[in-house]
Structures are given as C-alpha cells and as structure tokens.
A and B are shown apart, each in its own frame.
Chain A
C-alpha cells in the first residue's frame, strides 16, 4: 500500500515536471516581421523621395510608433518627379513648416481600408492637419477604382491573385500608393489664386468682371483658372484686361470658369462614369445659354465652351466644328482648397471677340 502511494507521488512529480506553459513564441516572431509604416516606406526603393520628406519633416518616428494607427498616402518617386522634385535635396527648398504641413497632409490618424470606405463619392476623412480629404472608391464586379483628392490610387493584385486591392497593410498602418502627388491647401480658392504669380492676369480679369469675391464666398466651388501664358498668348495681360469694358461682353467671357456649387476633381468624371455606367462630361449651363463643359478621361482632360445653339466657340481651330478641348497645364489640376478645387487651363475657352455684344 505504501509502495503504491510512493509510486503515485512519483508519478505526480514526473507529471508536474512535464507541465509547460506555452507562450506561442513562434506567433510573436511571425507578426514582428511586419514592419511599421516608417520602416516600410524607408525600405522601399520606389518611395525614397517620400521617405526623405518624412525624415526631414521629423515624422519618421511618428510613423514607426507601434501603438498608433495611420493611413499613409505614399506618392511614388515618379509622382514627385512629375512635380519637379527629383532628389531628396529638393525638399531643402521648402521651409520646414511648409514641408511638415505637406507631409502631414499625406497621413491620416486612422486605418482606412479600401473595403471599409462607403461605396459613394466624396467620403471625407481628416488628415493630421485636420483637413478633410476626399476618398472615392468604386468596387465593381469587373473593375475597381479608387481616387483620393482626385488622384488615382495604384491598384495591384492581392496575395491570392484573384482581386485588385489598394491596401498595403503594415503593422501600424494602411498604405495607399499614389501615382501623383496631392495638393491640399488650407486657404480659400481666392487666397490660392492671389498667391500664384502665374495666375495674376486671370485674377485681374476676375476682379474686372466682378467674379473675384465668389472665389471666397462660394462653397463648394470649382475654378478653371487660365495661366498667364495662356492669357498672354491671346493678348490678355493684367493691364489689357483692366481696359476691357464688362458691359460690352457677354458675362460668359469669364463666368464659365467659376462653377458652383460643384466640387469636381478631374478623375471625378471617371468615377461618376463608373457609378452611373456612362462616360459623361460635366456640362454646366451658364450665362446667356452657353454651356461650359469639363471633360475627363474619355474626351481628354480639359474644358470647352458651346454657344446656345450647341456650336463650339473655342479658340482652337476645328475644321468640322467638333468641340476641341482646351487642355490643362501639365500637373496643373486638383489643387484642393478649403472651399473648392482649382484646375489650371493652358488657354482660354473663348476669345473676347467671340462674345462681344
């Protein structure tokens, strides 16, 4: 009997030795290999310019904070190159506050997955500066699309190879890869135009024709500004504009460029086309029966004007009378301001002599 108890105690002792508290080390190791957003951007050869900007702005550690959640919009190096930023030293030209504001524009304080965004245009999410960014997803049966601030997000095949995804998931963030830079300004459209030396002729024209105040008061507003080179190629300088008598011209001469209440990025036409299953221009009925047309992915990016009879009246030679789109200046679109969007046209859509009373 005593022997039996001895054996039992020994057995219990041995059993106790066999006990083990698993801590699932292997799982921890697996998850620790996923990087934080800062490291991911820093280690990616396509994002070296953005990584440099993040570091210069002092936000690298912020993006590596393991306890935080971010959505980071990361423009590729090509996107910065198109915006004339070719090397990391180009960021030195920016005042540090401006650079920090710019980088913070690209960071949102929550994780926003493509599939979690409502299926409609213009979902607003604030970035680190507190400025709302416009997210527009489309998830169709055959085709998806995703724009942020009017810029397309790069889609790629998911790991299973059976669908397009727009999310790069890191430990503390979701990253959306952008094919172009975004332009987010805290100022009004009026302040934006006033601060641009290349729009001074157009600003003078809006003041002369009584449209200047609407750049501050209208909301939402889409402004199709004409660059100085476009104005001056047609003989319109700030001085000559001030010599025009507004009473002698149909208001459409300049009113068509100021459209409200509309908030249209260039790629919105593509997104509307996907949602409505049609490729339509934006047609704005305007002063005197004219219609101001904004075209996008289907007809070339730009604008044109039709007279009340539907005839093209633009300055571009059109042998058969078909509308010719006046294009935007390269990388001159989708400047988001607090009360609207600005696109910069390379030319007028109608010459003064065409709308002279």
Chain B
C-alpha cells in the first residue's frame, strides 16, 4: 500500500515537472540588420531637426486617426550606431533600453551559421514584401506604442522592400545632403553577398563604402578652412593598406611588414548604390622578423589610408597636414598601440580607430588564436564605421 502511495506521489511530481515548450520559428526567413547612421549632432543649427533616435516598425498598423499603433516587428530605442559593430551581438545582455543596431540587444530570432558565417547579428523575418517605417521618437524609456499619439507621427522614411528567402540584407538610414532643411533622409539597403562568395581562411577581407551626405565634405572643408585633415573625405578617394607588426608604445607604427606599405587596395566613391563593393584582402599571417611561424597568433595590425587621387604615398607624396581639406584620412585597426594624435602630420595623424580586423580569441588549447573576418568599412559624414562578420571558428577543444 505504501509502495503504491509513493509511486503515485512520484508520478504526480513527475507530471508537475512536465512542460510544453513552444519554439518560435519563422518559416522561409530572410535576414536583416539595421543601423541608424544619422550621425548629425545637436547644434543650434540642427536643434529643430527631428531627433535621430528611432523606432522601426515593420508592417505597421494604424488607428482611425492614421497614427501607428502596432506592427509585425518593432525595433525601439534605436540610437546612433557605434563606430564598431562586432561580429556577434556584443550588446545582447545590455540592460539599457538604448539599442545601437537592430536586432542588437533585442531578444528576437536571429540568423544561423550560414555557409560558415555567423549571422547572429541579423534578425530573421519572413521572406517577401515588407513595409518598413522609421519614426523619430523622444529619448525616453517609454516603449514606442505607449507614447502619446503626437509623438508617434514623424516618419523619417517609409519604404516597402522585397526580401528573398535565405538572403542577407543590411539596412541604414542616411542623411541625403547637407543643403536642405529639414535634413533629407534616405533609406539604404544592401543585399549582402558574403555568404555566397568563396573566401580563403588565411586572408582577411574588407570592402569600403562612402555613404556620406552630398556636400558634407565641401561643407566640412569650408567650415574647417585650413585646419587639419581626417574629419571628412572627398567623394573619390584611393585606399592604401599598410600592415604593421608590434613595436613600442612610444613609437608605434614604425615596424612595417615587408612588402605591405601603402599597398593600393581600391578606390571608394561616394554613392548610395545598393551594390556590394568588391572585397579586398590581406594575409593574416604575413612573414616578418619574429612572426609566428605556426600561424596561430597573428600580431599584426592594419592601417588604411584614404588619399585623394592627386597623391601617391609610395612616392612620399602626401597632402600638407595643415591644409589637407578632405584629401587625407586614416583608419587604424588596432587595440594596442595606435591612439589618435600620437603623431603629428601625415602619414599618421588624425586616425579613425577600430579594433583589429583580425579577431584573436582564446580557442581550444590556445590562449590566443587569430581568425580572419569579413569587414565593411563605411565612411559616413566624418565617421568611419566598421562592421565585422565572423567566419565560423574551429570548435572548442576540451583540455584539462
């Protein structure tokens, strides 16, 4: 009798532990990622422009007064993007309501590893036609649909796009030109191709875009006059690569990897065309005195120099720093040695900065192992934004 009681009790306890888990799935998904690239700051001149703080509503619904009151997807609290978008959702655990990209820290279904690429920074959405509307919203912690109706009315952009199954899209809002008021906003979408292209594991890939507003460079040059370079680039620039290996903090940037100084990579032209710019590459384990012959840990770092076509760095031909007027800018990709204003005058001054494009992390039995990435550098109105995509890494190896 007692046995039966215990068995019954056990059965009840076991049943209590039962739980039905419903997994959310999205059938036939496409993958998209959104950046708020509106980087104008508050000045007396732009104070009356709409706040560049966004709510993105996909397939919105409207009430009887025409005010948005719902939608299939809401990307709320979208602040201006950060200079570096890492290859994984680094802000996923962020408790702040601010979100620097979509999906970013939103808890939504994200992409899988597709053809060896980690798409965890791209949100899933059912493929097909979708209407995207981007609203300016007040900087507060009130969710968008709980705001007063008057605060849900200003739409920056309203567009319908057709997203194909399994394809990867990067979307942005951009300032169209600097001449008009209110500031004209343009929706930009790039149909990414990296999941379909063949890449070599021993090379790091990068492509370049200039998505600046029309006239930004001219205006910056006019405003700055003869003051320094680096704050804007002209509409047509050549890009040169220099690779460095570690040296002293006191004099960084003097140890050039042999054969990798001022290597012409590509040219970048200001354009909102939605095509993918060609990828350029460099080896992650180039040979230099003291380099790691085991190809485990690469210590090099990269410097991309933007020069107007008038200049040839190999011939020592640089613009005057005191009057570069958009002819010159530098992007240094290193966490260790390079800080802005370490140097005075070209070829080393006024760097944009990003972490190294070569990703070095603990892996397996190695405390530091270097992997290549696919990156996009976007020059937008005096800022350089780097979006890095991770290749699939070797699985971790247990060792005790």
Contact = CB atoms under 8 A, between A and B. Distances in A.
B53 interface: yes
B150 A262 contact: no
B44 A281 contact: yes
Interface residues of A, number: 25
Interface size class of B (residues with CB under 8 A): 10 to 19
Contact of B44 (A120, A122, A261, A283): A283
A50 B164 CA distance: 65
A66 B51 CA distance: 37
A196 B42 CA distance: 33
A119 B47 contact: no
A261 B50 CA distance: 12
Contacts of A276: 41-43
Of A261, A269, A281, most buried by chain B (CB within 10 Å of CB) is A261
A262 B42 contact: no
A311 interface: no
B144 to A, nearest CB: 12
Given A121-B42, A124-B150, A261-B181, A272 B140 contact: no
Given A261-B181, A263-B47, A272-B47, A123 B138 contact: yes
Contacts of A283: 44-45
A220 B181 CA distance: 12
Given A120-B51, A261-B182, A280 B150 contact: no
Given A261-B181, A262-B48, A118 B43 contact: no
Q: Is the interface of B mostly helix, strand, loop or mixed?
A: loop
A194 B53 CA distance: 39
Contacts of B181: 261
A269 B44 CA distance: 7
Contact of B45 (A119, A120, A284): A284
B48 A122 contact: yes
Interface string A118-150: 111111100000000000000000000000000
Given A275-B42, A276-B42, A122 B182 contact: no
Contact of B48 (A116, A124, A261, A281): A261
Interface in A17-70: none
B139 interface: yes
A153 interface: no
A10 to B, nearest CB: 41
Closest 6 CB pairs of A and B: A282-B44, A118-B138, A118-B140, A119-B139, A120-B139, A118-B139
Given A118-B142, A124-B150, 19 more contacts: A116-B140, A117-B140, A118-B138, A119-B140, A120-B139, A121-B42, A122-B47, A220-B48, A261-B48, A261-B181, A261-B182, A262-B45, A262-B48, A264-B47, A268-B44, A272-B43, A275-B42, A284-B45, A294-B44
Interface of B: 41-45, 47-48, 51, 53, 138-140, 142, 150, 181-182
